[in-house]
Structure 1
Protein backbone atom coordinates (compact mmCIF):
# COMPACT_ATOMS: atom_id res chain seq x y z
CA UNK A 1 0.00 0.00 0.00
CA UNK A 2 2.80 2.47 0.91
CA UNK A 3 4.65 1.68 -2.32
CA UNK A 4 1.51 2.40 -4.33
CA UNK A 5 0.98 5.72 -2.57
CA UNK A 6 4.59 6.78 -3.20
CA UNK A 7 4.31 5.87 -6.88
CA UNK A 8 1.07 7.82 -7.21
CA UNK A 9 2.65 10.81 -5.45
CA UNK A 10 5.66 10.79 -7.79
CA UNK A 11 3.37 10.48 -10.82
CA UNK A 12 1.30 13.41 -9.62
CA UNK A 13 4.38 15.59 -9.08
CA UNK A 14 5.66 14.81 -12.59
CA UNK A 15 2.29 15.69 -14.09
CA UNK A 16 2.15 18.96 -12.14
CA UNK A 17 5.69 19.84 -13.23
CA UNK A 18 4.86 19.24 -16.91
CA UNK A 19 1.64 21.19 -16.61
CA UNK A 20 3.45 24.07 -14.93
CA UNK A 21 6.07 24.31 -17.66
CA UNK A 22 3.38 24.34 -20.36
CA UNK A 23 1.43 26.98 -18.51
CA UNK A 24 4.54 29.10 -17.98
CA UNK A 25 5.40 29.16 -21.67
CA UNK A 26 1.92 30.32 -22.63
CA UNK A 27 1.90 33.28 -20.22
CA UNK A 28 4.78 35.43 -21.40
CA UNK A 29 3.04 38.79 -21.43
CA UNK A 30 2.35 39.18 -17.70
CA UNK A 31 4.36 41.07 -15.13
CA UNK A 32 6.47 39.54 -12.38
CA UNK A 33 3.86 40.57 -9.86
CA UNK A 34 1.00 38.89 -11.69
CA UNK A 35 2.39 35.81 -13.43
CA UNK A 36 1.83 32.35 -11.95
CA UNK A 37 3.38 29.00 -12.75
CA UNK A 38 2.53 25.62 -11.25
CA UNK A 39 5.74 23.81 -10.40
CA UNK A 40 7.30 21.00 -8.46
CA UNK A 41 9.04 20.89 -5.13
CA UNK A 42 12.74 21.71 -5.08
CA UNK A 43 15.46 19.75 -3.34
CA UNK A 44 14.62 21.55 -0.09
CA UNK A 45 10.96 20.54 -0.34
CA UNK A 46 9.74 24.09 -0.96
CA UNK A 47 6.96 24.41 -3.52
CA UNK A 48 7.66 26.64 -6.49
CA UNK A 49 4.16 28.01 -6.83
CA UNK A 50 4.36 31.61 -8.01
CA UNK A 51 6.57 34.12 -9.78
CA UNK A 52 6.25 37.19 -7.60
CA UNK A 53 9.15 36.94 -5.17
CA UNK A 54 6.97 35.47 -2.44
CA UNK A 55 8.26 33.26 0.35
CA UNK A 56 9.07 29.71 -0.72
CA UNK A 57 9.82 30.57 -4.35
CA UNK A 58 13.15 30.34 -6.15
CA UNK A 59 13.72 32.99 -8.82
CA UNK A 60 14.92 32.21 -12.35
CA UNK A 61 18.67 32.52 -12.82
CA UNK A 62 20.75 33.33 -15.88
CA UNK A 63 24.52 33.64 -15.96
CA UNK A 64 26.34 36.17 -18.12
CA UNK A 65 29.79 34.73 -18.72
CA UNK A 66 32.82 35.79 -20.72
CA UNK A 67 36.50 36.44 -20.47
CA UNK A 68 38.02 39.71 -19.29
CA UNK A 69 36.84 42.84 -21.14
CA UNK A 70 34.09 40.93 -22.95
CA UNK A 71 31.40 43.33 -21.73
CA UNK A 72 29.72 41.34 -18.95
CA UNK A 73 29.05 44.23 -16.58
CA UNK A 74 28.04 46.57 -19.39
CA UNK A 75 25.52 44.06 -20.73
CA UNK A 76 24.01 43.36 -17.31
CA UNK A 77 23.62 47.09 -16.63
CA UNK A 78 21.88 47.46 -20.00
CA UNK A 79 19.54 44.51 -19.31
CA UNK A 80 18.40 45.69 -15.90
CA UNK A 81 16.08 48.49 -17.05
CA UNK A 82 14.31 46.13 -19.49
CA UNK A 83 13.64 43.48 -16.84
CA UNK A 84 12.68 46.12 -14.29
CA UNK A 85 10.13 47.45 -16.79
CA UNK A 86 8.29 44.12 -16.44
CA UNK A 87 7.89 44.83 -12.73
CA UNK A 88 10.80 42.59 -11.72
CA UNK A 89 12.99 43.12 -8.70
CA UNK A 90 16.29 41.90 -10.13
CA UNK A 91 19.24 40.69 -8.06
CA UNK A 92 22.79 40.59 -9.41
CA UNK A 93 25.64 38.37 -8.20
CA UNK A 94 29.20 39.01 -9.36
CA UNK A 95 32.19 36.68 -9.10
CA UNK A 96 35.54 38.35 -8.45
CA UNK A 97 38.64 36.24 -9.03
CA UNK A 98 40.69 38.63 -6.91
CA UNK A 99 40.20 40.30 -3.55
CA UNK A 100 37.90 43.32 -3.40
CA UNK A 101 36.97 46.06 -0.96
CA UNK A 102 33.38 47.25 -0.91
CA UNK A 103 33.71 49.26 2.29
CA UNK A 104 35.17 52.76 2.66
CA UNK A 105 38.21 53.40 4.79
CA UNK A 106 37.57 54.96 8.21
CA UNK A 107 33.80 54.38 8.14
CA UNK A 108 32.29 52.76 11.24
CA UNK A 109 31.85 49.41 9.47
CA UNK A 110 35.45 49.54 8.23
CA UNK A 111 36.63 50.20 11.78
CA UNK A 112 34.54 47.26 13.06
CA UNK A 113 36.22 44.96 10.55
CA UNK A 114 39.67 46.31 11.29
CA UNK A 115 39.04 45.57 14.97
CA UNK A 116 38.31 41.93 14.17
CA UNK A 117 34.62 41.58 13.33
CA UNK A 118 34.04 38.47 11.19
CA UNK A 119 30.85 40.00 9.79
CA UNK A 120 29.41 43.49 9.72
CA UNK A 121 25.85 44.45 8.79
CA UNK A 122 24.56 47.96 8.27
CA UNK A 123 21.05 49.06 7.43
CA UNK A 124 19.19 52.30 6.79
CA UNK A 125 15.60 53.07 5.77
CA UNK A 126 16.59 52.49 2.13
CA UNK A 127 19.61 50.17 2.02
CA UNK A 128 21.16 47.13 3.72
CA UNK A 129 24.66 45.69 3.41
CA UNK A 130 26.32 42.63 4.89
CA UNK A 131 30.08 42.17 4.65
CA UNK A 132 31.50 38.80 5.71
CA UNK A 133 35.15 37.85 5.92
CA UNK A 134 34.66 34.55 4.16
CA UNK A 135 34.10 33.05 0.75
CA UNK A 136 30.51 32.36 -0.34
CA UNK A 137 29.24 29.72 -2.76
CA UNK A 138 26.94 30.60 -5.62
CA UNK A 139 24.29 28.32 -4.10
CA UNK A 140 24.46 30.25 -0.84
CA UNK A 141 24.29 33.61 -2.58
CA UNK A 142 21.28 32.50 -4.62
CA UNK A 143 19.53 31.43 -1.43
CA UNK A 144 19.95 34.99 -0.17
CA UNK A 145 18.38 36.23 -3.43
CA UNK A 146 15.18 34.24 -2.87
CA UNK A 147 13.02 37.36 -2.27
CA UNK A 148 13.82 38.71 -5.75
CA UNK A 149 12.07 38.00 -9.04
CA UNK A 150 15.06 37.36 -11.31
CA UNK A 151 18.78 36.87 -10.69
CA UNK A 152 21.56 37.67 -13.15
CA UNK A 153 24.94 36.16 -12.32
CA UNK A 154 28.16 37.63 -13.67
CA UNK A 155 30.78 34.92 -13.94
CA UNK A 156 30.95 31.47 -12.26
CA UNK A 157 31.65 29.82 -15.64
CA UNK A 158 31.62 26.27 -14.25
CA UNK A 159 28.22 26.58 -12.54
CA UNK A 160 25.29 24.73 -14.04
CA UNK A 161 22.73 27.51 -14.57
CA UNK A 162 21.60 28.72 -18.02
CA UNK A 163 24.14 31.02 -19.59
CA UNK A 164 24.57 33.76 -22.13
CA UNK A 165 28.19 33.51 -23.27
CA UNK A 166 29.92 36.60 -24.63
CA UNK A 167 32.18 36.15 -27.64
CA UNK A 168 34.56 38.94 -28.61
CA UNK A 169 37.36 37.04 -30.36
CA UNK A 170 37.84 33.53 -31.66
CA UNK A 171 39.77 32.72 -28.48
CA UNK A 172 36.42 32.93 -26.69
CA UNK A 173 34.83 30.10 -28.71
CA UNK A 174 35.46 27.42 -26.02
CA UNK A 175 32.75 29.16 -23.99
CA UNK A 176 30.22 27.61 -26.37
CA UNK A 177 30.88 24.38 -24.47
CA UNK A 178 30.17 25.91 -21.06
CA UNK A 179 27.64 23.96 -18.92
CA UNK A 180 24.07 24.82 -19.94
CA UNK A 181 25.10 27.53 -22.38
CA UNK A 182 21.80 28.68 -23.89
CA UNK A 183 22.71 31.73 -25.98
CA UNK A 184 25.71 33.59 -27.34
CA UNK A 185 26.08 37.37 -27.61
CA UNK A 186 28.64 38.15 -30.28
CA UNK A 187 30.63 41.32 -30.71
CA UNK A 188 30.21 42.83 -34.20
CA UNK A 189 32.92 42.73 -36.85
CA UNK A 190 33.80 39.04 -36.79
CA UNK A 191 31.54 36.93 -38.99
CA UNK A 192 33.35 33.74 -38.00
CA UNK A 193 32.06 34.04 -34.45
CA UNK A 194 28.46 34.17 -35.64
CA UNK A 195 29.10 31.27 -38.02
CA UNK A 196 30.47 29.17 -35.16
CA UNK A 197 27.39 29.85 -33.03
CA UNK A 198 25.05 28.88 -35.90
CA UNK A 199 26.64 25.43 -35.90
CA UNK A 200 25.34 24.91 -32.35
CA UNK A 201 21.86 24.90 -30.82
CA UNK A 202 22.50 28.18 -29.01
CA UNK A 203 20.46 31.29 -29.62
CA UNK A 204 22.52 33.94 -31.42
CA UNK A 205 22.44 37.65 -30.53
CA UNK A 206 24.52 40.68 -31.29
CA UNK A 207 25.86 42.00 -28.01
CA UNK A 208 24.48 45.41 -29.00
CA UNK A 209 20.92 44.09 -29.32
CA UNK A 210 20.13 44.53 -25.65
CA UNK A 211 16.36 44.69 -26.18
CA UNK A 212 16.29 41.32 -27.95
CA UNK A 213 18.44 39.67 -25.27
CA UNK A 214 16.23 41.09 -22.52
CA UNK A 215 13.05 39.92 -24.22
CA UNK A 216 14.52 36.44 -24.62
CA UNK A 217 15.46 36.37 -20.93
CA UNK A 218 11.90 37.35 -20.08
CA UNK A 219 10.41 34.67 -22.32
CA UNK A 220 12.69 32.02 -20.83
CA UNK A 221 12.02 32.93 -17.20
CA UNK A 222 9.90 29.91 -16.32
CA UNK A 223 12.35 27.50 -17.95
CA UNK A 224 15.29 29.15 -16.15
CA UNK A 225 13.42 28.89 -12.88
CA UNK A 226 13.57 25.09 -13.13
CA UNK A 227 17.36 25.22 -12.63
CA UNK A 228 17.02 26.92 -9.24
CA UNK A 229 14.89 24.40 -7.29
Structure 2
Protein backbone atom coordinates (compact mmCIF):
# COMPACT_ATOMS: atom_id res chain seq x y z
CA UNK A 1 0.00 0.00 0.00
CA UNK A 2 1.21 3.49 -0.85
CA UNK A 3 1.42 5.84 2.16
CA UNK A 4 1.62 9.61 1.69
CA UNK A 5 1.73 12.26 4.41
CA UNK A 6 0.61 15.87 4.71
CA UNK A 7 2.40 17.95 7.34
CA UNK A 8 1.99 21.54 8.40
CA UNK A 9 1.14 23.67 11.35
CA UNK A 10 -2.43 24.21 12.52
CA UNK A 11 -4.63 25.92 9.90
CA UNK A 12 -2.14 25.32 7.10
CA UNK A 13 -4.82 23.67 4.95
CA UNK A 14 -3.97 19.98 5.44
CA UNK A 15 -7.54 18.76 5.90
CA UNK A 16 -8.89 20.96 3.11
CA UNK A 17 -6.21 19.75 0.69
CA UNK A 18 -6.73 16.08 1.54
CA UNK A 19 -10.51 16.45 1.14
CA UNK A 20 -9.96 18.04 -2.29
CA UNK A 21 -7.56 15.28 -3.37
CA UNK A 22 -9.74 12.32 -2.35
CA UNK A 23 -12.26 12.60 -5.25
CA UNK A 24 -9.44 13.09 -7.76
CA UNK A 25 -7.60 10.00 -6.55
CA UNK A 26 -10.82 7.96 -6.42
CA UNK A 27 -11.52 8.88 -10.07
CA UNK A 28 -8.23 7.12 -10.84
CA UNK A 29 -9.67 3.95 -9.29
CA UNK A 30 -7.68 4.28 -6.06
CA UNK A 31 -9.25 2.80 -2.92
CA UNK A 32 -7.96 5.00 -0.14
CA UNK A 33 -8.21 5.64 3.55
CA UNK A 34 -7.14 8.59 5.69
CA UNK A 35 -5.52 8.69 9.11
CA UNK A 36 -5.50 11.99 11.00
CA UNK A 37 -3.31 12.66 14.01
CA UNK A 38 -4.87 14.87 16.67
CA UNK A 39 -2.44 16.02 19.31
CA UNK A 40 -5.21 17.54 21.42
CA UNK A 41 -7.60 14.61 21.92
CA UNK A 42 -11.01 14.02 20.36
CA UNK A 43 -14.29 12.25 20.96
CA UNK A 44 -16.29 10.61 18.18
CA UNK A 45 -18.95 9.09 20.40
CA UNK A 46 -22.20 10.78 21.45
CA UNK A 47 -23.91 10.75 24.80
CA UNK A 48 -26.87 8.39 24.84
CA UNK A 49 -25.56 5.86 22.31
CA UNK A 50 -24.93 2.27 23.34
CA UNK A 51 -21.20 2.57 22.64
CA UNK A 52 -21.05 5.71 24.80
CA UNK A 53 -22.73 3.80 27.64
CA UNK A 54 -20.20 0.96 27.32
CA UNK A 55 -17.28 3.41 27.46
CA UNK A 56 -18.80 5.29 30.40
CA UNK A 57 -19.20 1.96 32.20
CA UNK A 58 -15.46 1.36 31.85
CA UNK A 59 -14.88 -0.50 28.59
CA UNK A 60 -11.44 0.48 27.27
CA UNK A 61 -12.34 -0.54 23.75
CA UNK A 62 -15.63 -0.51 21.88
CA UNK A 63 -16.46 -1.55 18.34
CA UNK A 64 -19.67 -1.17 16.42
CA UNK A 65 -20.44 -2.73 13.06
CA UNK A 66 -23.39 -2.43 10.72
CA UNK A 67 -23.87 -3.25 7.05
CA UNK A 68 -21.37 -1.05 5.23
CA UNK A 69 -19.61 0.56 8.21
CA UNK A 70 -17.40 -0.36 11.17
CA UNK A 71 -15.98 1.88 13.90
CA UNK A 72 -13.57 1.15 16.72
CA UNK A 73 -12.78 3.34 19.71
CA UNK A 74 -9.89 2.58 22.04
CA UNK A 75 -8.74 4.45 25.12
CA UNK A 76 -5.11 4.16 23.97
CA UNK A 77 -3.26 5.77 21.08
CA UNK A 78 -2.03 3.37 18.41
CA UNK A 79 1.17 4.21 16.56
CA UNK A 80 0.95 5.12 12.89
CA UNK A 81 2.41 1.85 11.59
CA UNK A 82 -0.18 -0.16 13.54
CA UNK A 83 -2.98 2.00 12.14
CA UNK A 84 -1.64 1.62 8.60
CA UNK A 85 -1.48 -2.15 9.04
CA UNK A 86 -5.20 -2.15 9.90
CA UNK A 87 -5.92 -0.76 6.40
CA UNK A 88 -3.73 -2.97 4.21
CA UNK A 89 -6.70 -3.87 2.01
CA UNK A 90 -6.67 -0.32 0.57
CA UNK A 91 -4.49 0.94 -2.28
CA UNK A 92 -3.40 4.14 -0.60
CA UNK A 93 -3.26 5.72 2.83
CA UNK A 94 -3.23 9.50 3.17
CA UNK A 95 -1.88 10.60 6.54
CA UNK A 96 -2.47 14.00 8.10
CA UNK A 97 0.21 14.79 10.64
CA UNK A 98 2.76 12.43 12.23
CA UNK A 99 5.43 14.75 10.79
CA UNK A 100 8.35 12.78 12.23
CA UNK A 101 7.41 9.55 10.44
CA UNK A 102 9.57 8.59 7.42
CA UNK A 103 6.93 8.40 4.70
CA UNK A 104 6.87 10.55 1.54
CA UNK A 105 5.17 13.82 2.36
CA UNK A 106 4.04 17.26 1.34
CA UNK A 107 4.79 20.11 3.71
CA UNK A 108 2.22 22.91 3.81
CA UNK A 109 3.43 26.40 4.67
CA UNK A 110 1.11 29.27 5.67
CA UNK A 111 3.92 31.80 5.32
CA UNK A 112 7.68 32.21 5.47
CA UNK A 113 7.49 32.01 9.27
CA UNK A 114 6.62 28.28 8.89
CA UNK A 115 9.77 27.37 6.93
CA UNK A 116 11.47 26.00 10.08
CA UNK A 117 9.17 22.99 9.71
CA UNK A 118 11.18 21.98 6.64
CA UNK A 119 14.15 21.22 8.93
CA UNK A 120 12.05 19.02 11.22
CA UNK A 121 10.82 16.48 8.68
CA UNK A 122 12.30 14.05 6.18
CA UNK A 123 11.10 12.50 2.94
CA UNK A 124 9.71 15.80 1.62
CA UNK A 125 8.39 15.29 -1.91
CA UNK A 126 6.82 18.71 -2.40
CA UNK A 127 5.94 21.97 -0.72
CA UNK A 128 2.49 23.55 -0.77
CA UNK A 129 2.50 27.28 -0.12
CA UNK A 130 -0.06 29.95 0.51
CA UNK A 131 -0.38 31.84 -2.80
CA UNK A 132 0.56 35.06 -0.94
CA UNK A 133 4.03 33.57 -0.39
CA UNK A 134 4.67 33.88 -4.13
CA UNK A 135 4.82 37.63 -3.53
CA UNK A 136 8.07 36.94 -1.64
CA UNK A 137 9.95 35.20 -4.49
CA UNK A 138 13.47 35.22 -2.99
CA UNK A 139 12.35 33.26 0.07
CA UNK A 140 10.25 30.78 -1.87
CA UNK A 141 12.98 30.27 -4.48
CA UNK A 142 15.55 29.66 -1.73
CA UNK A 143 13.33 26.98 -0.20
CA UNK A 144 12.68 25.31 -3.54
CA UNK A 145 16.35 25.41 -4.55
CA UNK A 146 17.55 24.05 -1.20
CA UNK A 147 15.16 21.09 -1.25
CA UNK A 148 14.93 20.53 -5.02
CA UNK A 149 11.27 19.46 -4.82
CA UNK A 150 8.17 20.72 -6.65
CA UNK A 151 6.39 23.78 -5.31
CA UNK A 152 2.58 23.99 -5.37
CA UNK A 153 -0.08 26.40 -4.22
CA UNK A 154 -3.13 25.15 -2.34
CA UNK A 155 -5.41 25.11 -5.37
CA UNK A 156 -3.15 23.02 -7.64
CA UNK A 157 -4.81 19.77 -6.65
CA UNK A 158 -4.47 18.12 -10.08
CA UNK A 159 -0.69 18.63 -10.05
CA UNK A 160 -0.49 17.43 -6.46
CA UNK A 161 -2.55 14.31 -7.25
CA UNK A 162 -0.23 13.59 -10.19
CA UNK A 163 2.79 13.84 -7.91
CA UNK A 164 1.27 11.43 -5.39
CA UNK A 165 0.34 8.94 -8.12
CA UNK A 166 3.84 9.12 -9.60
CA UNK A 167 5.57 8.03 -6.39
TM-score (norm 2): 0.93
Map of 1:70 onto structure 2? 12
Q: Kindly indicate whether the alpha-carbon contact (under 8 Å) linking 1:187 and 1:208 is maintained by their aligned counterparts in 2.
A: no
Q: CA deviation at 1:112?
A: 0.5
Alignment of 1:27-42 (within 5 A): none
Q: Kindly indicate whether the alpha-carbon contact (under 8 Å) linking 1:166 and 1:186 is maintained by their aligned counterparts in 2.
A: yes
Q: CA deviation at 1:181?
A: 1.1
Q: CA deviation at 1:172?
A: 1.0
Unmatched 5+ stretches in structure 2: none
Of 55, 58, 68 in structure 2, the residue corresponding to residue 126 of structure 1 is: 68
Q: Distance in 2 between matches of 1:130 and 1:96?
A: 16
Q: CA deviation at 1:197?
A: 2.9
Unmatched 5+ stretches in structure 1: 1-58, 221-229
2:161 corresponds to 1:210: no
> Of the two structures, which has the highest relative contact order with CA contacts closer than 8 Å and spacing of 6 or more?
2
RMSD over aligned Cα atoms = 1.1
Which structure has the bigger radius of gyration? 1
TM-score (norm 1): 0.69
Q: CA deviation at 1:167?
A: 1.0
Map of 2:144 onto structure 1? 198
For this pair of structures, how many residues does the alignment match? 162
Q: Distance in 2 between matches of 1:146 and 1:154?
A: 17
